[in-house]
Amino acid sequence: MTPTVSAEGLSLHYGGTRALDDVSLRLTRGVTGLLGPNGAGKTTLLRVLATAVPADRGAFTVLGNDPGTARGRQEVRRRLGYLPQTPGFHPDFTAFEFVDYVAILKELTDRGARHREVRRVLDEVDLGDVRGKRIKKLSGGMRQRVALAASLVGDPGFLVLDEPTVGLDPEQRMRFRELIARAGEGRTVLLSTHQTEDVAMLCHRVVVMAGGRIRFDGTPAELTAVAAGRVWNSAERDPGAKAGWRTGTGSFRNVGNPPAGADLTDPTLEDGYLLTLDDAGVEVAAA
Amino acid sequence: MTWHVDAEDLRAYAQGELAPPMLWSADTHLMSCAECREALAAVSDPVALDAGWDRLDAELDVPRRGLFESLLVRIGVADHVARLLTATPVLRRSWLASVVFLLLTTVGVVYTADSPTLFLALAPLLPLAGVALSYGPALDPTYEMAVVSPLHGFRLLMIRTVAVLAAGLGLNGLATLALPSYGLRALAWLLPALALTATGLALTPRLGPVLAPSLVGGAWVALLVAADRAGDGPLVPFTAAGQGAAAAVAALAVGLLFLVRDRFDVFPRSAV
């Protein structure tokens, strides 16, 4: 399958920080999860791929276009949907007005066609009934859906979502996951998240970043398998474990290198993620 | 209800053939009259009726044009450009700030000073501040989405700049009319205003949208203070030589701005 995004050796430094360090990846159709602790470089990578920030080194293409040139960058942007980590709104706008404004930025200049597109994307995120409501009167989850609708204007082939489920309650998160799954049908979605549940439920592939580098790239099952034989239960917290916590049953769940005769248990995606970070030298208790 | 849509008009409405203004009256009336909606259903084929409701629904969604937006469209500004300009609260704020600033300085000059120097000194700062207030990640909540949109960042900046300059320079021009006794001297703010605004914009990619105009504004004030201490008579920036220098600076800054135009198309490093 031809990759939608193909990146080689992306690096970016600012100040004294190495935000991206020789990142290479290929993204194909479907939802790819991007996991990593704070400061891992997820948002920077998303901004580079969304053409908001140029990399110091390396190159990439999106849908065959090279954003290194002005013309290529514009072509990429025509086929890009981007939901930033903290989407900004003009709070006095209605949902319709905000998406209409973004549609103008996306070069939909014909009024009738633009308004039809605005209604389509608002319906797609199930906000058709509140499109005339002011954004400041909408709940946090609804605002995120307005921002998602704005990112869907023009039916982009590549959708970049930066932690869209942060701050949402479980019901809103579930609803948002449905929308992301729907948006991922027929297009390439790169989803940055802290939530391993998002990845487990939505993604066909997961990339783990830490310290500006890619530490894992594979399927969620493969990431889970990283922890195979490295998760065990015990009555007390095992001091030799990389991380351990008391579960609802009262016993401790430990991840790391189990002692001989340990009561091994099935790993989860989160266990695999924690051990991947640990293998990369990241303090997993802080992750 | 004092009236109902008659059967002939309902049939025309159902077939999409009813013309304004009767169409508008029928739209409004049907929203509130169940009796006419029933009569409409009876004369319509269901598909056409659904299309009619969709059209009505769509009309109700459309953002209403305000006074200023309507004015812009009427004078020939493209619909989407007018929307971009008037829908941006930062622009509205910068225009409002321009008006307030200008009223205060004009009143101050006319009633408390015996020369236009104060007005000439402050007026060039108005468009500089107006443009600075209309742009940048700190002031535009949609900045990040705008940067990655296909509309080139420099083009968006220029649309906003021209709008702010038109308002700022226009208002300055009107204020100049309040100083008729000074003749052309009262227009000596114009070239410095263009020079400051262009320089502020040209330095923005390197220094950021707050520091660049602040430094340029500060340099202008420092220049005026130095000129004031240098001697009596009109301040150097408002002499023929000073005006020539302002024109040269404006031309250079515009050239530099053109050269760095692509830098407005990505996030400033300071904001990453």
The per-residue pLDDT string of chain A (287 residues; one tens digit each, 9 = 90 and over) reads 788 999 999 999 987 788 999 999 999 999 999 999 988 999 999 999 999 999 999 999 999 999 988 889 999 999 999 999 888 887 778 899 999 999 999 999 888 899 999 999 999 898 988 888 999 999 888 999 999 999 999 999 999 999 998 878 888 888 889 989 988 888 999 999 988 999 999 999 999 999 999 999 999 999 999 999 999 999 988 888 888 889 888 899 999 999 988 999 999 999 999 999 988 887 765 44
Radius of gyration of chain B, Cα coordinates, nearest whole angstrom = 26
What pLDDT does B194 receive? 92
List the strands of the sheet with A213-218, edge to edge: A80-83, A158-162, A188-193, A30-35, A205-210, A213-218
The residue among B66, B47, B67 whose CA lies nearest residue B55 is: B47
Structure-token match 């250079």, residue found: B252
| Closest-approach residue (CA) in chain B for A44 | B272
DSSP-assigned beta bridge partners for residue A6 = A26, A61
The residue among A163, A172, A106 whose CA lies nearest residue A138 is: A172
What pLDDT does A286 receive? 40
Q: How far is it, in rounded angstroms, from Cα B72 to Cα B256?
A: 30
The residue among B268, B144, B151, B258 whose CA lies nearest residue B201 is: B258
- Closest CB to B89: pick one of A47, A52, A90: A90
Q: What is the dihedral of CA B193, B195, B201, B202, to 10 degrees?
A: 180
Q: Which of A91-95, B16-20, B59-63, B249-253 has the lowest mean pLDDT?
A: B59-63
| Closest-approach residue (CA) in chain A for B156 | A105
pLDDT in tens, B211-226: 999 999 999 999 998 9
Q: Which residues of B touch A212 (CB under 8 A)?
A: none
Cβ separation of B267 and A53 shorter than 8 Å? yes
The residue among B165, B184, B181, B193 whose CA lies nearest residue B109 is: B181
Cβ separation of B145 and A87 shorter than 8 Å? yes
Q: What is the dihedral of CA B176, B182, B186, B188, to 10 degrees?
A: 170
ipTM tops the 0.90 cut = no
Q: Which of A34-48, A123-137, B151-165, B187-201 has the lowest mean pLDDT?
A: B151-165
Cβ separation of A50 and B148 shorter than 8 Å? yes
> Counting beta carbons within 10 angstroms of the beta carbon of residue A91, is it exposed (0 to 12), middle (13 to 18) or buried (19 or more)?
middle
Q: How far is it, in rounded angstroms, from Cα A104 to Cα A101?
A: 5
Q: Which residues of B touch A67 (CB under 8 A)?
A: none
Q: Which residues of B touch A118 (CB under 8 A)?
A: 61
**B141 — pLDDT class (breaks 50, 70, 90):** confident
- Closest CB to B141: pick one of A88, A111, A114: A88
Cβ separation of B80 and A115 shorter than 8 Å? no
| Planar angle of CA A144, B59, A120, nearest 5 degrees | 40
Cβ separation of B58 and A52 shorter than 8 Å? no
Cβ separation of B142 and A92 shorter than 8 Å? no
Work out the minimum CA distance from A174 to partner chain B, whole angstroms: 25
What pTM was estimated for this model as a whole? 0.80
B29-56: b or e for each residue (b if 16 or more CB lie within 10 Å)?
bbeebeebbebbeeebeeeebeebeeee
Cβ separation of A150 and B61 shorter than 8 Å? no
Work out the minimum CA distance from B266 to partner chain A, whole angstroms: 5
- Closest CB to A92: pick one of B83, B89, B265: B89
Residue A252 per-residue DSSP state: E
Q: E strand or H helix at A58, and its extent?
A: strand A57-62
DSSP-assigned beta bridge partners for residue A25 = A7
Cβ separation of B145 and A150 shorter than 8 Å? yes
DSSP-assigned beta bridge partners for residue A30 = A188
Cβ separation of B63 and A102 shorter than 8 Å? no
The SS3 call for residue A213 is strand
